Chain A
Amino acid sequence: MDAIRIRDLVKKYGAVTAVQGLSLAVEPGTMFGFLGPNGSGKSTTIGCLTGLLDPTAGQIEILGQPFDAESAAIKRRMGVMPETLGLFDPLYAHEFLAFVARMYGLDEATTRRRVTELLDALELTDTSKTLRDYSTGMRKRVAFAAAVIHSPEVLFLDEPFESIDPAGVALMKQWLRRFTEQGRTVFMTSHVLETVERFCHQVAIITTPGKLVWQGDVTVLANDGAISYDGREFRALEPLFLHLTGQRYADLNWL
Chain B
Amino acid sequence: MNFELIGHLVRLRYKLLWAKTRSRNGRIALFMVCYLMLVLLIALLASGGFGVALLAVRTGKAELVAQAVLSALYVEAVVAAVVLGFGVNAIFSDAQLRRYPLKARERRVARHFIGILDPFWFLILALELGLVVGLYVSSSASFWLGSIAVLLLLVSNYLLARVVALLLERLMQRKFGAAVLLGFFVCIGFLPAMLEPVLRGHRGAIAALLHVLSYTPPFAAAATMTRTDLAAFSGLLLQVWWLLGLAAAVVALERRPPPPAPRAAQTTAISWDTPYDRLAAFFGPRLGPLMAHWLRFYTRNNRCRTVYAIALPVAAMLAFMLGRHTGTKGHLGSPFSAALSAFAVLGCMGTVQFSVNQFGYLGGGFRRFLLLPVRPAAVLRAGSYAFMLMSSALILAGTLLFIVFAPFAFDARMLIMLVGAAVSSLFVFLGLGLWATLFGPRCCDYYSSFGNDLSAAGNTVVIGGIMVVVLGPQLLANTWPAALAPDRWWMAIPMVLLAAAFYSSSLKRAGAMLLARREKLLAIVEGRG
The reply to whether B374 and A84 contact each other, CB–CB distance below 8 Å, is no
CA of A91 to CA of B294, assembled, Å: 11
Q: Enumerate 5 A-B pairs (CB-CB under 8 Å) in ascending A order.
A: A85-B364, A86-B365, A90-B301, A91-B296, A126-B267
Quick one: which of B279-312 are within 8 Å of A by CB? 288-290, 292-293, 296-297, 300-301
The reply to whether B263 and A128 contact each other, CB–CB distance below 8 Å, is yes
The chain A residue with its CB closest to the CB of B266 is A126
Binary contact track A58-88/B, C-beta < 8 Å → 1, others 0:
0000000000011011011000101011111
CA of A109 to CA of B375, assembled, Å: 25
Residue B95 lies at the interface, judged by CB distance under 8 Å to chain A: no
Residue B96 lies at the interface, judged by CB distance under 8 Å to chain A: no
Which 3 A/B pairs are nearest by Cβ-Cβ distance? A86-B368, A75-B373, A102-B289
The chain A residue with its CB closest to the CB of B368 is A86
Residue B20 lies at the interface, judged by CB distance under 8 Å to chain A: no
Residue A94 lies at the interface, judged by CB distance under 8 Å to chain B: yes
Residue B194 lies at the interface, judged by CB distance under 8 Å to chain A: no
* Residues in A whose Cβ lies below 8 Å from that of B263: 128-129
The reply to whether B266 and A82 contact each other, CB–CB distance below 8 Å, is no
The reply to whether A128 and B373 contact each other, CB–CB distance below 8 Å, is no
Distance between B343 CB and nearest chain A CB, rounded to angstroms:
31
Residue A193 lies at the interface, judged by CB distance under 8 Å to chain B: no
The reply to whether B267 and A70 contact each other, CB–CB distance below 8 Å, is no
Quick one: which of A42-58 are within 8 Å of B by CB? 50-54
15 additional contacts, CB 8 Å, given A126-B267, A146-B368?
A: A50-B371, A51-B370, A69-B518, A72-B373, A72-B375, A80-B371, A90-B300, A90-B301, A92-B270, A99-B289, A103-B290, A103-B373, A125-B266, A128-B267, A129-B263
The reply to whether B364 and A84 contact each other, CB–CB distance below 8 Å, is yes
* Residues in B whose Cβ lies below 8 Å from that of A98: 272
Quick one: which of B161-180 are within 8 Å of A by CB? none
Residue A104 lies at the interface, judged by CB distance under 8 Å to chain B: yes
> Are A82 and B270 also in contact (CB < 8 A) when A103-B289, A128-B263 are?
no
* Residues in A whose Cβ lies below 8 Å from that of B300: 90
Quick one: which of B335-371 are within 8 Å of A by CB? 362-368, 370-371
Residue A100 lies at the interface, judged by CB distance under 8 Å to chain B: yes
* Residues in A whose Cβ lies below 8 Å from that of B301: 90
CA of A69 to CA of B288, assembled, Å: 22
The reply to whether A84 and B367 contact each other, CB–CB distance below 8 Å, is yes
CA of A42 to CA of B526, assembled, Å: 18
CA of A86 to CA of B293, assembled, Å: 14
Which of A95, A104, A116 is within 8 Å of B372, CB to CB?
Answer: A104
Q: How many A-B residue pairs have CB under 8 A?
A: 95
> Are A86 and B371 also in contact (CB < 8 A) when A52-B522, A69-B515 are?
yes
* Residues in B whose Cβ lies below 8 Å from that of A69: 370, 515, 518
Residue A235 lies at the interface, judged by CB distance under 8 Å to chain B: no
Residue A181 lies at the interface, judged by CB distance under 8 Å to chain B: no
The chain B residue with its CB closest to the CB of A147 is B371
Distance between B237 CB and nearest chain A CB, rounded to angstroms:
48
Distance between B471 CB and nearest chain A CB, rounded to angstroms:
36
The reply to whether A88 and B289 contact each other, CB–CB distance below 8 Å, is no
Distance between A92 CB and nearest chain B CB, rounded to angstroms:
8
Residue B412 lies at the interface, judged by CB distance under 8 Å to chain A: no
CA of A121 to CA of B367, assembled, Å: 26
- A: interface residue count bin: 35 or more
CA of A91 to CA of B269, assembled, Å: 15
Which of B267, B370, B515 is within 8 Å of A127, CB to CB?
Answer: B267
The reply to whether B446 and A89 contact each other, CB–CB distance below 8 Å, is yes
The reply to whether B371 and A75 contact each other, CB–CB distance below 8 Å, is yes
* Residues in A whose Cβ lies below 8 Å from that of B375: 70, 72
Residue A201 lies at the interface, judged by CB distance under 8 Å to chain B: no
Residue B265 lies at the interface, judged by CB distance under 8 Å to chain A: yes
CA of A226 to CA of B481, assembled, Å: 90
Binary contact track B237-266/A, C-beta < 8 Å → 1, others 0:
000000000000000000000000001111
Residue A177 lies at the interface, judged by CB distance under 8 Å to chain B: no
CA of A103 to CA of B265, assembled, Å: 30
CA of A97 to CA of B268, assembled, Å: 17
* Residues in A whose Cβ lies below 8 Å from that of B272: 98, 112
Residue B94 lies at the interface, judged by CB distance under 8 Å to chain A: no
Quick one: which of B154-199 are within 8 Å of A by CB? none
The reply to whether A52 and B373 contact each other, CB–CB distance below 8 Å, is no
The reply to whether A88 and B368 contact each other, CB–CB distance below 8 Å, is yes
Residue B76 lies at the interface, judged by CB distance under 8 Å to chain A: no
* Residues in B whose Cβ lies below 8 Å from that of A80: 371
The reply to whether B519 and A53 contact each other, CB–CB distance below 8 Å, is yes
The chain B residue with its CB closest to the CB of A88 is B365
The chain B residue with its CB closest to the CB of A105 is B373
CA of A52 to CA of B366, assembled, Å: 11
> Are A95 and B374 also in contact (CB < 8 A) when A53-B519, A86-B367 are?
no
The reply to whether B446 and A90 contact each other, CB–CB distance below 8 Å, is yes
CA of A130 to CA of B329, assembled, Å: 51
* Residues in B whose Cβ lies below 8 Å from that of A52: 367, 370-371, 518-519, 522
* Residues in B whose Cβ lies below 8 Å from that of A75: 371-373
CA of A241 to CA of B241, assembled, Å: 68
Distance between A172 CB and nearest chain B CB, rounded to angstroms:
19
* Residues in A whose Cβ lies below 8 Å from that of B270: 92, 94, 116, 127
CA of A88 to CA of B366, assembled, Å: 8
Distance between A251 CB and nearest chain B CB, rounded to angstroms:
27
CA of A102 to CA of B301, assembled, Å: 23
The reply to whether A128 and B264 contact each other, CB–CB distance below 8 Å, is yes
Distance between A70 CB and nearest chain B CB, rounded to angstroms:
6
The reply to whether B374 and A103 contact each other, CB–CB distance below 8 Å, is yes
The reply to whether A70 and B515 contact each other, CB–CB distance below 8 Å, is yes
The chain A residue with its CB closest to the CB of B292 is A99
The chain B residue with its CB closest to the CB of A130 is B300
Binary contact track A127-152/B, C-beta < 8 Å → 1, others 0:
11100100000000000001000000
Distance between A25 CB and nearest chain B CB, rounded to angstroms:
23
The reply to whether B371 and A104 contact each other, CB–CB distance below 8 Å, is no
* Residues in A whose Cβ lies below 8 Å from that of B293: 88, 99
The reply to whether B267 and A125 contact each other, CB–CB distance below 8 Å, is yes
The reply to whether B297 and A91 contact each other, CB–CB distance below 8 Å, is yes
Distance between A123 CB and nearest chain B CB, rounded to angstroms:
12
Distance between B291 CB and nearest chain A CB, rounded to angstroms:
11
The chain B residue with its CB closest to the CB of A84 is B364
> Are A100 and B372 also in contact (CB < 8 A) when A53-B519, A84-B526, A95-B296 are?
yes
The chain B residue with its CB closest to the CB of A69 is B515
* Residues in A whose Cβ lies below 8 Å from that of B363: 89
* Residues in A whose Cβ lies below 8 Å from that of B372: 75, 100, 103-104
* Residues in A whose Cβ lies below 8 Å from that of B265: 128
> Are A104 and B373 also in contact (CB < 8 A) when A128-B264, A128-B267 are?
yes
Which of A73, A84, A112 is within 8 Å of B373, CB to CB?
Answer: A73
* Residues in A whose Cβ lies below 8 Å from that of B519: 52-54
* Residues in A whose Cβ lies below 8 Å from that of B373: 72-73, 75-76, 103-105
The reply to whether A89 and B365 contact each other, CB–CB distance below 8 Å, is yes
